[in-house]
Amino acid sequence: MPIFEETMLVGRRVGVAQAEAYISCTIAFAARAAERFSDAGEALDRALRIFSSLGDRTGAAFTLAQRGHLHRALGEVAAAIDCFHESADLRAAIPDQRGSGMSLTGIALTEAVRGNVTPARSLAREAAQMLDRSGDRPGLSRALDNVAAIARLSSTARAAQSASPIHRRRLPTFGRQAPVRPRQRLPVQPEHLTKLRGLRR
């Protein structure tokens, strides 16, 4: 499992305590994929306790984003939005542009599920731009998929088709990019924070 390999690499850099928390996040991901949602929640609780006790905002933000996806899988839309916002706020304060883009994607997907397709599509495009600037080509590819998926939810075929050529132009560069460093930090643009705060309920 690639996520397990990434977890091990992160663990070697951050130390034993954080490594345990990252492994708990990986366990949570696997449990969520297997629809063992209670196990996933317990693993995320454990990870968040460890990260919080260490003052590790990066790990806490990652865990909160994963909790947001868990809530989204359970159909708990309001709770998912809250987790993604908490994650985005932590990542903006670091600052971590790549991580902020990932949190923004979670908000976009959840807003789309809630039926707020227009702001969801705008947020998804913002997230794709942030991931593009951070150099995260795998993340950008996924973000562009989400732009198209949200456009399809709105039954706007033209919007879905417009996302696809962008995606095709990005993919040829995929194999030539240097790996994204998990703790890479880039500044978050102020206008992105303004839009996020405007979406709070």
Spans of all domains in the chain: 98-198
- What contacts 152, CB < 8 A, 6 or more positions away? 160
C-alpha 55/C-alpha 72 separation (Å) is: 26
Q: Peptide bond before 95: cis, by omega within 30 degrees of 0?
A: yes
Dihedral angle sign, alpha carbons of residues 90, 183, 97, 1: negative
What's the farthest any 2 CA atoms get from each other in the chain?
Answer: 49
- pLDDT (tens digit, 9 = 90+) per residue, 79-93? 999 999 999 999 999
- 178 has a pLDDT exceeding 80: no
Residue 8: pLDDT band by 50, 70, 90 thresholds?
low
Q: What percent of the chain has pLDDT over 70?
A: 68
